[in-house]
Structure 1
Amino acid sequence: MRIAPLFTSALLLVVLPARQGGDNGDHLWTDSDARAEITVGSSAFRLAPQSAFGFLALDDRTVQVRLSQGSLNVRVRDLGENESLEIDTPSGAVSLLRSGVYRVDVDSSGDTTSVTVRRGEAEVTASGSAFPVHPEQTAMVVGGDSPTYDVRDAIRSDDWEDWCASRDRRWDGARSSQYVSRDVIGYEDLDDNGDWRNTPDYGAVWVPRTVATGWAPYRYGHWAWVEPWGWTWIDDAPWGFAPFHYGRWVYIGGGWAWVPGHVVARPVYAPALVVFVGGRNWSLAIGAGGAGGVAWFPLAPEEPYYPAYHVSNTYVRNVNVTNVNVTNINVTNVNVTNINYRNRRAPDGVTVVSHETFVESRPVNRSVIVVPRDRLDQARVVGFAARVTPTQQSVLARSTVGEARRPPERVTTREVIVRRQPPAAPVPFAAREQALRANPGRPLDNATIRTLRTNTPNANPRPFVRPAAPEQRGQAPAPALRPAREGLPPSRTVPPTVVAQPERRRPSAPVATPTPAPTPQVAPRGADQRGNRPDRGARPAPTPPTPQMPPQDQRPAPSARPKRADRPAPAPAPAPARAPAPTPERKAAEPQRQQPERRPPTEQPAKERKADRDTTKEKKPA
């Protein structure tokens, strides 16, 4: 995962161990005049100013995030059958069911959430019920304990969405996608910062366009400890993600070139594709200080990478498949000292720093130790991870964006509704630090982490989430999701179906199934003309936050509206209940002229709705 701050003077990263972060519980706040783009696999999450965002779960198959305030634009290029993408808000949980473009807004009070589907299909779950949101529709959900909802024509796009569309065009039109998979995070940054060349020995290689004198891979940046990978390289260059976490480097034609290797459908991320050299005696010989020094060089093509973190044999093969003949990889019997590493003797290939520079996440290029060639040749190969125990400074890394205002506490502590129960929070570093000393440089295995979590159960609980359908223990069932309330023109007369427990194709946390009491239908109050798309200045109250961004010179061309998949016929509507009298504190508005009823499809149980998801990838642009 990569986080790219835009207009960084007002961006605040909170509890992120590194700029690409990725641990459960990481939080991101964009202040006024700030934007951020977070890339997770082939999906992009973009935050408008004054947005509070966080990760609840993140692994190979699940992305679960929270949005407690602000605006989030999501571009999903590919969503597999066994993959889940959930956005949790104070009013409900939003499941994205297929590739497409989505927008979620939460107002500053946290009382109103709007979900807009430009392309794709979404499902909103709240209070034990779920309803779909189709292309070119906007759903508004109000309240958290007893929510009401309305589905209408999609809101008009604004300057914020125009900016997001321009980022999508940059994604889609990147020339580098001819040489690497679109799932290589950061590939779109290569076009503006380097050139592609064809070579007889390595095929297509990418050469950075402007670098400092004496530049070498893995020298301009810093190291940080990021679970579950361990020591991870954080590069300073704006293009410095893809070339340092995929592929290999080679010194040819008097300079360094990045070799992405063969294009594969699912490229595998690595924290740093380097080899460490040194040892205690060697560190003393070079005069690196009392704690010794740390040295490394980049891997070249056909040189295998064996991670120090705990992975399967399949991962080892997949992380090497683009640049190595995987049939030659022996996973169970690794001898890294017998390899004649090519970049070890390349000009400026080996980088050496002090132990303090490494472990304290200091900028490497400012502290490089110059070592004579004969001393470098004497250094023995240590392996693919530095045998250095991390400290608290290693985890927090260094600030890459400077100071900024913190978000209001009411925003960061605001409860969100979850459909899938998030995993346990990470064990705090203070509880892991002693165990990490037992095997320097190697992350803890799952068994050790489970033991630590058992011994420190309340050290870092998962706060501020509430299930969409809480368990009922001898109490009256929670009210079901109701269509509309005063101030929101109701468009539905069919009560939502209570969530059942049918089987679905991919695993998912169950949603509880309380039996709701019959909900009376409220007569329309002040309904607007549904045939017209509302103007930005005349959206029904309460409105979601709409960030005011500078206008863009270029607007995206409207995309064709995709066909909707065939769905079950709507269930017959029950007999309408008698409308209740208005509450004393609100006056009933004069009803407008009766409009023809527009009846959308019946809300589907959350688990049934996923069965017909389209899992095909987006077509590549012509």
Structure 2
Amino acid sequence: MKIVRMVMAVLLLAVPVAGWGAELGIVRLSLVDGDVQVQAQDADEWVPAVANMPLAEGDRIWVPEGGRTELQIRGGCYLRLDAGSSLDIVAARNESLQFYLAEGRAYINNRKGGTKRIQMDAPDASTVIADNSIVMVDADYDGNIGVPVIRGHVLVDTERGTVRVPAGRSLRIDYEGGTELAPLDPPDEWLAWNRNQDRRLETAAESLRYVPVELEDYAYDLDDYGRWHYLPEYGYVWAPRLSLSAGWSPYRQGRWVWVRGDYVWISYEPWGWAPYHYGRWTHTPRFGWCWVPPARGAAWWGPGYVGWVHTPESVAWVPLAPGDIYYGYGNFGPNSVNIVNATVSRSAVRHYRNIRVRNAVTVIHSDTFIKGKQQRVAVRGNLFTARVGSVGPPRFRPERETRRPVFKSVPAVKRPPERLSRPKRHDAPEQRRHAPDGKGAVILPGRPAGELPVVRREAPKQPAVKPAAPAMKNRDIRGGKPLAPAVRYRESQGVAVKGDRGDEQVKRRSRPRDGRTMTPPLSPSPATALPAAHDNPQPAVTAPPNPQPKRSRPPRQRPAAVIQQTGSAEGRPPGQGGEKREKGEHGITAAPASPSVKQPANTPQGEERKEHKGREEWKKEGAR
């Protein structure tokens, strides 16, 4: 017995911690699709992520290929990440938040009445998003940034100045500092998916009548997975609607995970956020287990409102009923006691209402509690009524398994790339200034406020025609993930220019960095823009200001290798011309001379041969 006590004394860790209720209750993962991974600030490894996982300052998120995730922020804000995205939570407070998007695509829906201000940093720009705004921020590894604003407005700060981007406009910044303000591009699959998610948030109806205003953000979960009942003692209570086993009870389908100095309950049930971190539970003969929401003004987030009793060999917990006192390490609102510097008597937990409900108390071995296997053990009697054990959350020293919310293996190709393991010094998120008031420069503090010079366009950029290339042409050679549509356009080595004879690829290469071909300029220069070849052209790239006037048809004696006439049937043999047009309306397209290109039939040489053949036939006809 002495040996057992000595071993458990090493495992027991009495570390006084402050209350993390306010910090851990601000951001949670509300949706996880694919092998999303999280690296906590106090951990040195990436762990698989699950829904209902709380996040805090310093945590990092990686979304690999084929994955997507959604962050729900208290106050009505939602932040979603597409595949190939890396996000750091720099600051998480009640009134303002700061994120760092190293690369990828983020969609931020800061609904009306939500977070007052959100700052989304990127390697070379910072975007301050106001309340009641919907914004997308795109960033790639080469330093190109896009900020489309769907609703509201944002302020984008760079080293060269600040610009205000209103709704319906998109700001593009290339790696060389070139900026362009243009209308929004046509919707793609990423935007359509986000709009569908937004519509889901507006379907909540019944639960809004019964939950306090602080919990309205979770009403749609309650509507989807449960129903409301009226109890004379508590009013309206919520019960899960899914088919549950006979031995089911709250705080069973999930795991206790060590998060920022305390054990936090992470539920595997899709509705398991509000019912496990707010309010209390009660059991009724008619409806079974029911969740009692907190009163308005008393909605305090907690790591898991259960009563604890633990011994060196076992750990037991039970859901707390309304009125029961929660003993934990921190301040978690009414009906809670901070036991950081206090000792709780064993008699304090003998009067919990739910300890006599069948299957309400969960008991597992202390070893399995640390490892996460959650194997129940058979004990004699009830630990809450016995005279052994300590009251309060266990203080077992956390191990590697204790920090993992779920046990599953992640393929090597889905793990974060090496470049994200340690950010570069000039890209370190913590070195970026936080501007909660939206005033002053973010990237260069102390710089006088100045307007960022931008090139303004009034037409959206048309998608470029994809050149014929192998399947890997549109894949990122750095990570193997598919590029976003905007990135595919920039990474392609040319811009499609539409002509009468089809689309030709005009290649424009930019300054290489580290031996790689970089993004071309966002707008064509006068030297690279070609005149349109249609009567009402719709070119893929908008011509620069003061475009060249349309040229007339050149004389026939001009070399055919330089000018190629298209679009007119005049002067062509029957069946070889296009649609008939009036004289002088056919366009011209410059084409480089190539030995492999055959001479067209309407070249000067071809016209001379046709004229000679006509004279010979006329002579024969006259002789007859």
TM-score range, shorter chain: 0.5 to 0.7
Q: Is 2:16 aligned against 1:2?
A: no
Corresponding residue to 2:191 among 158, 161, 171: 161
**2:157 alignment partner, SS class:** strand
Corresponding residue to 2:277 among 236, 241, 245: 245
For 2:485, the equivalent position in structure 1 comes to 546
User: Contact conserved, 2:313 with 2:366, CA < 8 A, in 1?
Assistant: yes
**Partner Cα distance (1:333, 1:55) in 2:** 33
Q: Is 2:60 aligned against 1:27?
A: yes
For 2:146, the equivalent position in structure 1 comes to 114
User: Contact conserved, 1:90 with 1:415, CA < 8 A, in 2?
Assistant: no
Q: How far off is 1:416 after superposition?
A: 9.4
Corresponding residue to 1:65 among 71, 80, 99: 99
For 2:134, the equivalent position in structure 1 comes to 101
Which runs of 5 or more structure 2 residues have no equivalent in the other structure?
Answer: 1-26, 40-44, 467-481, 488-520, 530-542, 548-624
Q: How far off is 1:160 after superposition?
A: 1.3
What is the letter of the counterpart of residue 247 of structure 1?
G
Deviations 1:452-487 (A, max 9, x none): xxxxxxxxxxx4665479xxxxxxxxxxxxxxxxxx
Query: Which structure 2 residues correspond to residues 243-322 of structure 1 after superposition, within 5 A?
Result: 243-253=275-285, 255-264=288-297, 267-279=299-311, 291-309=312-330, 311=331, 316-317=332-333, 320=334
Distance 1:507 1:341, change over 3 A: farther
Query: Which structure 2 residues correspond to residues 486-525 of structure 1 after superposition, within 5 A?
Result: 511-514=444-447
Q: Is 2:169 aligned against 1:148?
A: no
**1:378 alignment partner, SS class:** coil
Distance 1:544 1:128, change over 3 A: farther
What is the letter of the counterpart of residue 344 of structure 1?
I
Q: Is 2:388 aligned against 1:385?
A: no
Distance 1:150 1:202, change over 3 A: same
Distance 1:592 1:158, change over 3 A: closer
Deviations 1:97-151 (A, max 9, x none): 22221111113x33211111111221111116221111121111222xx623222
Q: Given the two structures, how large is their TM-score scaled by the length of structure 1?
A: 0.62
For 1:125, the equivalent position in structure 2 comes to 157
**Partner Cα distance (2:440, 2:55) in 1:** 22
For 2:527, the equivalent position in structure 1 comes to 588
For 1:565, the equivalent position in structure 2 comes to none
Q: Is 2:81 aligned against 1:47?
A: yes
Corresponding residue to 1:409 among 418, 426, 429: 418
Corresponding residue to 1:347 among 329, 354, 358: 358
Distance 1:508 1:181, change over 3 A: farther
For 1:11, the equivalent position in structure 2 comes to 36
For 2:536, the equivalent position in structure 1 comes to none
For 1:174, the equivalent position in structure 2 comes to 204
**2:281 alignment partner, SS class:** strand
What is the letter of the counterpart of residue 11 of structure 1?
V
**Partner Cα distance (2:486, 2:267) in 1:** 31
What is the letter of the counterpart of residue 59 of structure 1?
R
Q: How far off is 1:155 after superposition?
A: 2.4
Deviations 1:51-87 (A, max 9, x none): 2222222233442222122211111125678x54211
**Partner Cα distance (2:383, 2:84) in 1:** 53
RMSD: 4.1
**1:358 alignment partner, SS class:** helix
**Partner Cα distance (1:347, 1:512) in 2:** 62
What is the letter of the counterpart of residue 343 of structure 1?
N
User: Contact conserved, 1:52 with 1:412, CA < 8 A, in 2?
Assistant: no
User: Contact conserved, 2:526 with 2:544, CA < 8 A, in 1?
Assistant: no
**Partner Cα distance (1:16, 1:249) in 2:** 34
User: Contact conserved, 1:277 with 1:381, CA < 8 A, in 2?
Assistant: yes
Q: How far off is 1:593 after superposition?
A: 4.8
Deviations 1:407-430 (A, max 9, x none): 333355565988xxxxxxxxxxxx
User: Contact conserved, 1:113 with 1:544, CA < 8 A, in 2?
Assistant: no
**1:177 alignment partner, SS class:** helix
**Partner Cα distance (1:547, 1:203) in 2:** 53
Deviations 1:238-280 (A, max 9, x none): 221221111111111252111113244x83321111111244x
Corresponding residue to 1:204 among 213, 220, 236: 236
User: Contact conserved, 2:109 with 2:133, CA < 8 A, in 1?
Assistant: yes
Q: How far off is 1:195 after superposition?
A: 1.4
**Partner Cα distance (1:467, 1:374) in 2:** 54
Q: Given the two structures, how large is their TM-score scaled by the length of structure 2?
A: 0.62
Distance 1:253 1:517, change over 3 A: closer
Distance 1:417 1:170, change over 3 A: farther
Deviations 1:557-576 (A, max 9, x none): xxxxxxxxxxxxxxxxxxxx
**Partner Cα distance (1:379, 1:166) in 2:** 55
User: Contact conserved, 1:352 with 1:368, CA < 8 A, in 2?
Assistant: yes
For 1:235, the equivalent position in structure 2 comes to 267
For 2:255, the equivalent position in structure 1 comes to 222
What is the letter of the counterpart of residue 350 of structure 1?
V
Deviations 1:178-212 (A, max 9, x none): 32246536443222222111221111211112222
Q: How far off is 1:514 after superposition?
A: 4.2
**Partner Cα distance (1:507, 1:250) in 2:** 52
User: Contact conserved, 2:328 with 2:338, CA < 8 A, in 1?
Assistant: no
User: Contact conserved, 1:44 with 1:74, CA < 8 A, in 2?
Assistant: yes
User: Contact conserved, 1:300 with 1:342, CA < 8 A, in 2?
Assistant: yes
Distance 1:214 1:518, change over 3 A: closer
Q: How far off is 1:34 after superposition?
A: 1.4
**Partner Cα distance (2:459, 2:279) in 1:** 51
**Partner Cα distance (1:169, 1:417) in 2:** 39
**1:192 alignment partner, SS class:** helix
Higher relative contact order (CA 8 A, sep 6+): 1
Distance 1:123 1:594, change over 3 A: same
**Partner Cα distance (1:273, 1:382) in 2:** 17
Distance 1:167 1:267, change over 3 A: farther
Distance 1:389 1:329, change over 3 A: closer
Distance 1:377 1:86, change over 3 A: same
